[in-house]
Amino acid sequence: MEVTSVVQLDQTKAKDEYPNLSLRPLQVSDVDDFMVWASDEKNYIKNIVVPHPWLRAICIDDRPVGAISVSANSGNDKCRGELGYVLASKYWGKGIVTRAVKMVVDTIFVEWPHLERLEALVDVENVGSQRELEKAGFQREGVLRKHFIVKGRSRDRVMFSFLSTDYQS
């Protein structure tokens, strides 16, 4: 099943320097733009991105400047999904991630009706990303100490969540 939906932000709510911000599925033809903000090998798009169940390019004027995804769980954990995103540093601090996260929240609970909880894990030192999630309505739940390793060093992460009931309220 190929998902071809494009999510547009209601322009009456957002007036800023990026009025043409949208989310859409990444395509193999996006490889050049993708490589500007990602350092993975070119076949990453074909083998990982395109078949991903819910991964969208964050686009400005239909050119990818980042990506946002929801990873599904299975079995007893299928009620939870994990949100992830990446954005070219040139666009940091402009509210783009907050808008993209809101766009995901506006669609994911409809597209995946089994989903009850959307989670996001953020490095404890990434205050900007934490702020973006809070602006998008996510709740900070707590710190997971020594939760992952980066460059041989244990790191803490902050757990955020957005519930389907949060969206409906």
- Do residues 81 and 118 make contact, with C-beta atoms less than 8 angstroms apart? yes
Render each residue's pLDDT in the chain as its tens digit; 169 residues.
344 455 555 544 555 778 888 888 888 888 788 777 665 455 666 666 666 789 899 999 999 899 999 998 889 999 999 999 999 989 999 999 999 999 999 999 999 999 999 999 999 999 999 999 999 999 999 999 999 998 899 999 999 999 999 976 5
| CB-facing half-sphere around the CA of 138: CA atoms within 13 A | 29
Other Cβ atoms within 10 Å of 122 Cβ, number: 21
Cβ atoms of residues 104 and 67 within 8 Å:
no
Q: Which domains does the chain have, with CATH numbers?
A: 21-166 (3.40.630.30)
Name the one residue in this structure whose structure tokens are 């490589």.
35
Beta carbons within 8 Å of 20's beta carbon, 6+ residues apart? 59, 60, 61, 62
pTM for the full predicted model: 0.73
Q: What is the pLDDT of residues 13-56, one digit of tens each?
A: 555 778 888 888 888 888 788 777 665 455 666 666 666 789 89
